[in-house]
Amino acid sequence: MSRVRIAAIGLLCLLCLTAIQAEEVASVAIVVHPSVEVSNLTMLQLRRIFLAEQQFWPDRSRITLLVRAPGAVERDIVLSQIYQMNDAQFRQYWIAKIFRAEVPSGPKIVLSSNMALELVTAIPGSITFISASAVDEGTKVVRINGLLPSQAGYPLR
């Protein structure tokens, strides 16, 4: 009986851990270069930045957008929650944006969370998104609508 109880508790713990991990992976943190003097953005502001309708920070430094390559879960969340587009529409949006000379270039493609973190801390004015579980101590995470990824009601999940 006690073995069954131990096994049941173990299984429960495993399920909880899995749920916590899934929660972390499913939340996307918005990360900026440490020199960016912004600590909170509304969803509307975030959307304008990712659509390149706002291309400069309030201090007039240029925003450099770093976007994960297709296939990443974080990218899927950003495309659905921020862009409200699928991959094909996202591609067409940026080709049109470049064609119309509304931006000098499209977003820069990063291949992994490590690459995103390396570049966002190296390039002044840059902004990117990573899995909330990949955030480390030196990373500057921006609140969205006043909320951090760990808080209830955080919109990027």
Partner 1 sequence: MQRIVRQSALILCVATLVATSTLVSAQEPTVLGQPISALLFGEFDYRERENQGEDGFAIGQTVAQFNVQLDNRLSVFTEMTATARKGKDFEFEVERLFVRYDFSDQYKLSAGRYHTPLGYWNSAFHHGSWLQTTVSRPETVKFGSNVIPIHFVGALIEGNVGESSFGYKAGIGNGRSDEINDPGDFGDSNGNRAWLLAGNYRPPGGYRLNAGLSLYIDQISPDFEPDIDEQLINAYVVLEGETPEVLVEYTYAKHDSSLSEGNVNSAYAQLAYRLSGRAYPFKPYLRVERLDVDDEDPMLGDLNLGYKGVTAGTRWDFSSHAVLKAEVRREKSDTLSTRNSFWLQLAFVFDASSAYRSYRSYAPTGQSYGSPR
Nearer to partner 1, 62 or 157 (CB): 62
d(CA 122, CA 126): 8
Contacting residues for 71 by C-beta, under 8 A, at least 6 apart:
none
**Pairing, β 40-41 against β 140-144:** parallel
Q: Could you say which of 18, 35, 40, 92 contacts partner 1 (CB under 8 A)?
A: 92
Q: How far is the CB of 146 from partner 1 (least distance, A)?
A: 18
Q: Does 54 bind partner 1 (CB under 8 A)?
A: yes
Supply the minimum distance, in Å, between the C-beta of residue 61 and partner 1.
8
Q: Give dist(CA 115, CA 138) in Å, integer.
A: 15
Q: Name the one residue in this structure whose structure tokens are 């006690």.
A: 2
Find the binder of partner 1 among 31, 32, 64, 77 (CB under 8 A): 64
Q: Is 12 in the site for partner 1 (CB under 8 A)?
A: no
DSSP string, 67-119: EEPTT-HHHHHHIIIII---HHHHHHHHHHHHHTTSSSS-PEEE-SHHHHHHH
Query: Which residue shows structure tokens 């990949």?
Result: 134
Least distance CB 51 / partner 1 (angstroms): 7
By CB under 8 A, residue 91 contacts partner 1: yes
Q: Which is nearer to partner 1, 65 or 142 (CB)?
A: 65
Residues that bind partner 1 (CB under 8 A): 44, 47-48, 51, 53-56, 60-62, 64, 68-73, 84, 88-89, 91-92, 95-96, 98-101, 104-106, 108-112, 114-115, 118-119, 122-124
